[in-house]
Amino acid sequence: MDLHTPVCDLLCCDYPVVLAGMGGVARSELVAAVTEAGGFGFLGMVRERPELVAAEIAAVRARTDRPFGVNLIPAATRPALLEAEVQACIDGGVHAVTLFWDLSAETVKRLRGEGVLVACQVGALDEAIAAQEAGADILIAQGWEAGGHVRGRSGLHALVASVLGAADVPVLAAGGITDGEDLAAVMMLGAQGAVLGTAFLATRESFAHDYHKRRIVEAAPGETVHTEDFHINWPPNAAVRVLPNSVTRGARGDPHAQPRQVIGAEGARSIYLFSTDSPLRSMTGDFEAMALYAGQGAGRIHEIVPAGERLRAIVAAARHCLPAERRLRAPAEPDEREPASPVCYAGQADEAYMGFAPVDELVAELNVLLEAERAGARVAARIATETDDPELKALARVIHADEVRWCKALFQALLALGAEPSTRVGDFYGNAMAIAGVEARLAFVNRGQGWVARKLRTLGPRVRDAGLHATLREMLDAHVRNIDEANAALAARSASA
């Protein structure tokens, strides 16, 4: 089974494997490595200066031309700093932002208004519903097994099942997911992919200190601790999952005692005992007493490897597991003893004879369109990132949102036909990216939109299913509208040149 799901088109990645935006740990080197390997990476920029956010965004972009995102925590960030972080993400043209802890509907609205995809991580069904109503494009269901800050008290599989029952947007699973077997398991539940933290923390590109990485590799199965001892810098009653140390064993005294004790430093900044800081490459101090974040899957990580190598191993193992799992859920064969339904010759007539496209031809045409839309989505995302022109940026984001929408619709239509959706990105992407200059590339995108429109005009009348016919008609109208708007924008620039 191929791992490509609709959320891959939304995030413009190859595999539904997402790097958690671990504060401090998920820096540019790790994000670029995961993204280049076909996953999607989030920078962990919790409470960071906007200058660092901008610098890390630029550093990722210097390493990869693929889209990526940023993780922010409104509840743990002062309003003025949060506003500066959000603006840095918008100015940097990031593809997506993850939000966690208390829902900030205002931040969701602001980011989406700028064309940035928003993923909200939740720990309970009511939080998922609220995030979806606020406009989240993606929900991340975080189970109790997760490392770092843990929002809810539900086990991952039960939470995913409940969120899926209420979600109209893609759902990703997070919490204790370490390998391909874990990824396959949550995908069989219905999640469109997974978010991994600990598995990527223990990689060469991670910004975690070597001490933290070694402790994960040395961890025994079931060794993690769920505690509220590490609390400085976060809202009260915020539980975390860590590896055991002198703090969790009670050897460091009362976590809420005063005065605060300094146990390390990061440049001029002091690291306090019981703070939420985890050991980073840039720190010095008593690492044993810091928050050694780790999910319940830590006991199955036995070596520190390159992030790309770990991602490829996860994908390969998931592919190996999924076919057998899927067969267990295959539809039962029709009961031959069931009485035959009344004869309806029209329903059994040859599609070509009736003037409609045969199923195999329809599947081929829909897959060609899916590949073209996937390529168009990626090119539009790149244009939105590279241009400084506000009008062109807004137009590219509209085109990107439409292309993603049609990718999802085509993907679902192919599944409904019992066909395997293509996972290819059309050659249009490479051809477009070879063109220098944003305006020239947008003109090329417009010609590609015109090609799709012509194909839709030809295919539409040959589609028998009323629902699919209506979808393709709507898709055609959207392409015509975008073509007209792009032509107008390009003409205006040509006239003023």
Summarize pLDDT for 228-287 with one digit per residue, the tens: 999 999 998 999 999 999 999 999 999 998 899 999 999 999 999 999 999 999 999 999
Asked if pLDDT for residue 333 goes beyond 60, the answer is no
Grade residue 345 by pLDDT with cuts at 50, 70 and 90. Answer: very low
Q: In this structure, what token pair is assigned to residue 25?
A: 């740990």
Q: Crossing angle of helices 390-416/438-459, nearest 10°?
A: 30
SS3 227: strand
The encoded tokens of residue 487 equal: 């032509």
Indicate the domain borders of the chain: 1-328, 356-496
pLDDT one-digit tens code per residue, 386-415 = 888 888 888 988 898 888 888 888 988 898
Q: Per residue in 427-448, pLDDT tens?
A: 888 898 899 888 899 999 889 9
3 state SS of 111: helix
- Closest to 47 measured CA to CA, from 235, 321, 182, 222: 235
Spatial CB neighbours of 98, under 8 Å, sequence gap ≥ 6: 21, 42, 69, 70, 71, 72, 118, 119, 120, 121, 140
Residue with tokens 């339904």: 341
**Token representation of residue 334:** 């029709």
Q: Residues 292-329: pLDDT tens digits?
A: 999 999 999 999 999 999 999 999 999 988 854 343 33
Q: DSSP of 187-215, one letter per residue?
A: HHHT-S-EEESHHHHTBTT--B-HHHHHH
Q: In CATH, what class is 356-496?
A: mainly alpha
Could you report the per-residue pLDDT of 166-194, keeping only the tens digit for each? Answer: 999 999 999 999 999 999 999 999 999 99
CA angle (344 as vertex; 343, 347 as ends), nearest 5: 140
Residue that is written with structure tokens 């210097």 in the block:
62
CA 409 to chain CA centroid, Å, is: 18
**Closest to 447 measured CA to CA, from 345, 375, 363, 348:** 375
DSSP reduced 3-state for 19: strand
Alpha carbon of residue 146 to chain centroid: 17
Q: Which CATH architecture has domain 1-328?
A: Alpha-Beta Barrel (3.20)
Position 324 scores a pLDDT of 45
- Looking at residue 338, what is its pLDDT? 33
